[in-house]
Chain A
């Protein structure tokens, strides 16, 4: 599966986020700057991880990239063209190449339609018409082809997350944004679905922006990682460098608080150092 404009020239930037700021109104009259001068870039066949503490602005950044959040300043360029805030329904054609898997899988799926036809609609957007079929996509995410006739509420939380991913992948997006897309799966499914998402980026020459609060998962999927804290990017670099030698205080705390499955009943550290 190669695209008309395959990766290779090494410089083809699919997404450029330039110094964006997003503010929200707080109760009363003051403003909250949820995203405070964030810049990111993503090339074809590249996976960028975005990690950070709960409430630091990851989902807001993702929504801004899709044009779902008005910018106070800065700009977002997708394939060189500006993304302007518009509702999903009135999206200009060139923006259909951006697909987002939302943090809450209910938000990515229509509750009233069978999941098979929702995935089919996604396939209709794919420029490469026979890239996938519904059954194959369902199997890829560990579901059964016979599940296609069911409605979203008939699935478990983790199954719903996987359906949303299957739909998004089926569209053959140029840019796939996953907002905590595999947070409720167990370790083996996480690895399987993360690998599937990564394959999409590598083989189809798409870009993947993978948002997670879990640095251990990001490490297995991303090439580069950006660490966000209180609306700003504190640290960015190749994922192994950040994992082994984190420079920001927050990245260090993140590493120290990962619970270890040793059966010893130790509560993970609030302190800065790993305990064991």
Chain B
């Protein structure tokens, strides 16, 4: 992977994100469904905060609430503080200006951040020219650099292709590149490596670690994969049924989980004792 473009680093250490008492209800006709029941998660700058939890527990909705992309009928309360302002109170216009720029999201469904009829190059460069005021050549150069960073094969050619011409894992890496394009201070990464095999995943995990260590980005990492969590997260919050049931540092949560759900998650992990790669394998 290519190095991170240090000249593009933000001048000051980026601020983190602080989620407090986040509640979310979705109204659909007469029915009201409570999705989040008061979430507290600190996502400090220069740290990777893991968000684990059962399918349907509210991980994606937590991230969507922070970046203002909730479905119709949603009502939120609580705080999501970034640079001294509550993101939940921002007008859609102000939120749009922040999203994709200072706060960006890698969506669980990689196609969600991609327009099907516009080439990858078009999408990446439009985005940067709009938010970063890059010139055409500069944007192209940066686009190639980003695709190289996430190990998309043949970057120059990839820029001329359309989303349907890529594999699932390639699209996921392109979505990561788009999320990183404008040097965000806060990155919400929702299952960013589910479509990647472990060899490619290892590269992406390293990239996220470097972004965090070198540029001080605050990363919220949503993943169901405790192996990934263990490799990357500094602290871990575990959600269940719209609530955070356990928070702690990585080692503590993984080696001595307190909540029964966390224990069950860890017990369900496939054992790796049988991995026997011969030692002469270099």
Contact = CB atoms under 8 A, between A and B. Distances in A.
22 contacts: A54-B196, A54-B197, A106-B109, A156-B59, A156-B61, A162-B55, A180-B168, A184-B191, A186-B53, A186-B224, A246-B277, A255-B275, A257-B201, A259-B225, A260-B227, A261-B229, A262-B255, A263-B252, A265-B234, A268-B227, A272-B277, A272-B282
A255 B277 contact: yes
Given A59-B167, A268-B205, 8 more contacts: A58-B167, A187-B226, A220-B270, A244-B274, A245-B276, A256-B277, A260-B227, A262-B230
A225 to B, nearest CB: 14
Main secondary structure of the interface of A (DSSP, over half): loop
A258 B272 contact: yes
A270 to B, nearest CB: 5
B60 interface: yes
A259 B35 CA distance: 31
Contacts of A51: 197
Size band of the B side of the interface?
35 or more
Nearest to B35: A156
Interface string B195-207: 1111111110110
Contact of B265 (A24, A187, A253, A273): A187
A59 B165 CA distance: 12
Given A27-B157, A27-B161, A188-B264, A267 B232 contact: yes
A156 B170 CA distance: 22
Contacts of A245: 276, 278
B279 interface: yes
A58 B52 CA distance: 29
A189 B61 CA distance: 20
A274 B226 contact: no
Contacts of B191: 157, 184
B169 A55 contact: yes
Leading 4 A-B pairs by shortest Cβ distance: A54-B169, A158-B55, A259-B227, A213-B197
Contact of B198 (A156, A188, A257): A257
Interface of B: 28, 52-56, 59-61, 71, 108-109, 111, 153, 157, 160-161, 165-170, 173, 191, 194-203, 205-206, 209, 224-232, 234, 250-255, 264-266, 268-270, 272, 274-279, 281-282
Contact of B109 (A157, A159, A257, A269): A157
Nearest to A54: B169
B157 A268 contact: no
Contact of A156 (B55, B250, B255, B277): B55
Nearest to B156: A27
Contacts of A153: 71
A101 interface: no
B30 to A, nearest CB: 13
Contacts of B157: 26-28
Contacts of A214: 197-198
B108 A268 contact: no
Contact of A260 (B108, B168, B230, B232): B230
Contact of B195 (A142, A183, A253): A183
B198 A213 contact: yes
User: Among B52, B166, B281, which residue has the most Cβ atoms of chain A within 10 A?
Assistant: B281
A159 B55 contact: yes
A270 B202 contact: yes
B275 to A, nearest CB: 5
B256 to A, nearest CB: 9
A153 B201 CA distance: 28
B108 A184 contact: yes
A252 interface: yes
Contacts of A172: none
A158 B254 contact: no
Contact of B276 (A104, A142, A244): A244
Nearest to A150: B28
B231 A259 contact: yes
A257 B197 CA distance: 9
Nearest to A244: B276
Contacts of A216: 270, 272
A187 B270 contact: yes
